Structure 1
Amino acid sequence: LDGLAETDWTDATDMDGAQVAVADYRPDWWPTATRLLIRRVRLAPEQVSADPRSRRRRTLHPDQRALPISELTTADAVYGYSFIMTNLDVSTPEQAAAVEHWYRHRTQIENIFRDSKLGAALRHLPSGYPQVNKAWMWGALLAVSIAGWLHQLTATPGPGGRLAGWGVRDGQAMIATLRHRLIRVPARLVRHAGALKLRLPPGHYLLDEVLARIRRLPATS
């Protein structure tokens, strides 16, 4: 990082506040064509946890990582860094941005499979029969799709009109979190003023919001 100048950074593709650069660093034991691609994302101090075990805090520059939160707020800029080893062509800033964008989407796909393992029981196939395992797999992937639809129902427009779903991880809460906040919710179905109403316990505003958005969807024939 110390060998990079501000002019070496170029804006990342489809990621607000992010920039990419290619470092000259390459140990002798790396394959000849390997390059080090670096992405940095500008963070607000309140986005950084005081817990040194925090994943985001561990992405800060070592000098900033050592600072207490009170001093971090006075820094000119706070960045989180990610490093990618690649043998793809990153010889120009445009190529570097395109390669980083490609790797980022690969990571998103891997996160979906990780979420399906942790939240939709895809980590274990239950049978010795391929047909049973195939049905199990499709059920897990259907659960992932339903989670995506729930994010759409709770989404809010961001910069440029892009929708951000509910929760942390840039608006992509894990399936287990959505299950806890939307599905495993105790409620009472009561009749009031001649109409049925679903009464939720205090604090479950997300389910209220989802139900309201479902009711506003246009009717289909």
Structure 2
Amino acid sequence: MKTGFNSIKRIFILSIVSIFLLAATMSITAVAESDNMVIIPYGDSEYRYMVVDQGEGTGFELTDFDDSNFLTGDAGFGSIYSGCLLTSSDYVSTEWALNSDILVRKEFYLPAGASNLKVFVAIDNDVQVFVNGVDISGGLQVHEGCPSWNSFEFQADDDLLNAGTNLIAVRGRDRGVASFLDIKVTADTPHQEIPEFPTIALPIAAIIGLAFFFQRKKDE
């Protein structure tokens, strides 16, 4: 009788451990993805960029453009100017000369099924935004005054997005006094639904527990 008792005891323990492992796995899965993610934050690093005369650099937005001659720099791009908050040394990481254009490129990754990609821009003065070679800003958008977070918001069509590597390219234009450019990119990613905890798991554990209890009573 002792053998039967030990067998039921082992089954009961394994069942309880399995239930807890299943619950832990589902908890990990639940936090693996969120509905909306910041893909590129303001102040991000490792951009490819080039400062050019206004209007120069046609084709820099294309995915097959050779940017090997571009420099590597961190956002924000700009000049130090005491009259605006974002043109202070706290936010300007890479110099951008006045009265010129800056061409900025950065690759980023999206999982399959990503959608609703948005590009937020802080700019002084004007900006044009491309995703995977396509203009999503409707041409060069004019901005006056000091730069501020989210001065512009542009959205890319979902059919422009790739599962895997994507490219954002931005042309900034300065018209004097102060220059500044920084961007943030967000997107919705597929939400991992949390599977319901199997409703049969707890009753099974209870049945095994009762069997264990009665077998123990019998052995006594």
Between Structure 1 and Structure 2, the one with more helix by share is 1
| Structure 1 and Structure 2 fold alike (TM over 0.5) | no
Shorter-chain-normalised TM-score: which range? Answer: under 0.3
Q: Which has the higher strand share?
A: 2
Q: TM-score, normalised by structure 1?
A: 0.18
